[in-house]
C-alpha cells in the first residue's frame, strides 16, 4: 500500500504547509469518515466546522479559510482545494484492473481489423470488419465495436459498451459500462394512411473528440445524415441522452439524467444540470448554464444562466419564486 509523508504531499501540491504530523498518509477520505492516516480536504467554511471532530491527520484547505491544524496535525493551504485534491487522488489511484493478456481467447476479431501497439481486448469482446484501434486501447470484457469504426490511442472502454458502425472516437477517452454510441436516432412520421408510423433511417455516424468521458448507461445517437458530434474534453455523466445530429462544443458538462433532443447545438463550456431537458433545434451558446431540472424551449445567449420550466433567466426566475412564496403567506 502506498503511503506518503505530509512533506512529500506538499511537494506535489506546492502549497503552504501549516503544522506537522508524523503519520504516514495512505489515502484521502471524507472528514467524517477519515482515520488518523488519512488526508481530507476543506473547500468551504461549512466543512471547516468538521475539522475539530475529524480523525484525519491532515487536510487540504482553501487558503482563505482560517483554521488551526491542532496537535500532530497538518494543513496544506492552496488556492483551490478541489483541484489540489484531484491532483493528490491521481497519486493514490490504484489504476485499472489488472489485465494479464493482450487478446483474450474468447474475443472475436475480424481479420480485416487493425490494432496498434499495446491494445488489451477482454473476454467476449467483438471487433468488426475494418475497425481501427490506435495504440494502448483497452476494451474490458463484452465490448462490441462494429464495422469501420476508428478509436484513438489510449481510449478505455468498459464492459457492455456498444459502438456502432462507422463511428470515430478520439484519443484518451473513457466510456464507462453500458454506453451506447451510434444507435439509431428517434425519428418517426405518421404513415400516409394515418394508421401507423414510418421509421426515418439514420445513416450518419457519431464523431467524438479527444479526452471525452461518458458515464454508465448514457446514449449518443447517430445522425440522421452527417454526424452527431461531441467536442474535445466534454464530460457526460451517467444516464444521459444525446439525440441525433446534436453538436457539443469543447469542454461541455452534462450531469446525470439530462438530455438533448435532436439537432441541439451547445457552444464551448456549456453546463447542463442534472435532469434538465433541451428542446430540439435549440442552441445554447458558449459558457451558458442550465440549472438542474430545467426545460429549455428557446436559444440561450452566451454566459447566461437559466432555470425553471420553461427555463428563463435565473434572476427573473428567482424573483418569481420569491413572489410566489410571499403570495402563499398573505
Q: Which residues are catalytic?
A: 244
Closest CA to 129 of 139, 114, 142, 117: 114
Task: State the Cα angle at 66 between 61 and 69, rounded to 5°.
Answer: 65
Residue pair 279/261 in contact by the 8 Å Cβ criterion: yes
Q: Round to the nearest angstrom and report the end-to-end CA distance of the chain.
A: 63
Closest CA to 143 of 262, 169, 90: 169
Q: DSSP characters for 33-70?
A: T--TTEEEEE-SHHHHTTTTT---SEEEEETTS-----
Strand order in the sheet with 74-78: 16-19, 74-78, 58-62, 38-42, 27-28
Q: Which residues pair with 205 in a beta bridge?
A: 227
- Angstrom distances, CA of residue 194 to CA of 42, 189, 190, 191: 62, 10, 6, 5
Most distant CA pair in the chain, distance: 82
Neighbours of 295 (CB within 10 A): 15
| Residues 6+ away with beta carbon under 8 Å from 242 | 218, 219, 220, 221, 228, 230, 236, 248, 254, 259, 260
Cell 464495422 -> residue: 147
Residue pair 289/305 in contact by the 8 Å Cβ criterion: yes
Amino acid at each position: 500500500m502506498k503511503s506518503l509523508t505530509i512533506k512529500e504531499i506538499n511537494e506535489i501540491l506546492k502549497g503552504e504547509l501549516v503544522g506537522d504530523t508524523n503519520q504516514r498518509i495512505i489515502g484521502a477520505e471524507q472528514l467524517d469518515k477519515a482515520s488518523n492516516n488519512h488526508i481530507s480536504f476543506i473547500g468551504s467554511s461549512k466543512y471547516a466546522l468538521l475539522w475539530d471532530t475529524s480523525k484525519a491527520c491532515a487536510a487540504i484547505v482553501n487558503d482563505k479559510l482560517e483554521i488551526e491544524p491542532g496537535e500532530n496535525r497538518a494543513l496544506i493551504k492552496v488556492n483551490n482545494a478541489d483541484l489540489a485534491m484531484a491532483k493528490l487522488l491521481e497519486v493514490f489511484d490504484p489504476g485499472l484492473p489488472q489485465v494479464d493478456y493482450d487478446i483474450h481467447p474468447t474475443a472475436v476479431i475480424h481479420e480485416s481489423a487493425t490494432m496498434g501497439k499495446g491494445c488489451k481486448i477482454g473476454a467476449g469482446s467483438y471487433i468488426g470488419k475494418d475497425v481501427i484501434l490506435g495504440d494502448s486501447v483497452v476494451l474490458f470484457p463484452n465490448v462490441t465495436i462494429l464495422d469501420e469504426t476508428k478509436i484513438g490511442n489510449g481510449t478505455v472502454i468498459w464492459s457492455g459498451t456498444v459502438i456502432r458502425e462507422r463511428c470515430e472516437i478520439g484519443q484518451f477517452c473513457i466510456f464507462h459500462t453500458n454506453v451506447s454510441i451510434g444507435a439509431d436516432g428517434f425519428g418517426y412520421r405518421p404513415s400516409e394512411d394515418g394508421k401507423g408510423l414510418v421509421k426515418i433511417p439514420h445513416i450518419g455516424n457519431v464523431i467524438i473528440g479527444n479526452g471525452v468521458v461518458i458515464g454508465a448507461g448514457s446514449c449518443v445517437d447517430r445522425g440522421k445524415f452527417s454526424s452527431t458530434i461531441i467536442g474535445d474534453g466534454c464530460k457526460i455523466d451517467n444516464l444521459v441522452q444525446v439525440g441525433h445530429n446534436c453538436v457539443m462544443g469543447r469542454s461541455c458538462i452534462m450531469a446525470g439524467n439530462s438530455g438533448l433532443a435532436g439537432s441541439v447545438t451547445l457552444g464551448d463550456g456549456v453546463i447542463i444540470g442534472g435532469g434538465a431537458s433541451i428542446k430540439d433545434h435549440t442552441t445554447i451558446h458558449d459558457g451558458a448554464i442550465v440549472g438542474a431540472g430545467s426545460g429549455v424551449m428557446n436559444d440561450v445567449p452566451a454566459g447566461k444562466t437559466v432555470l425553471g420550466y420553461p427555463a428563463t433567466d435565473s434572476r427573473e426566475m428567482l424573483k418569481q419564486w420569491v413572489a410566489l412564496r410571499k403570495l402563499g403567506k398573505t
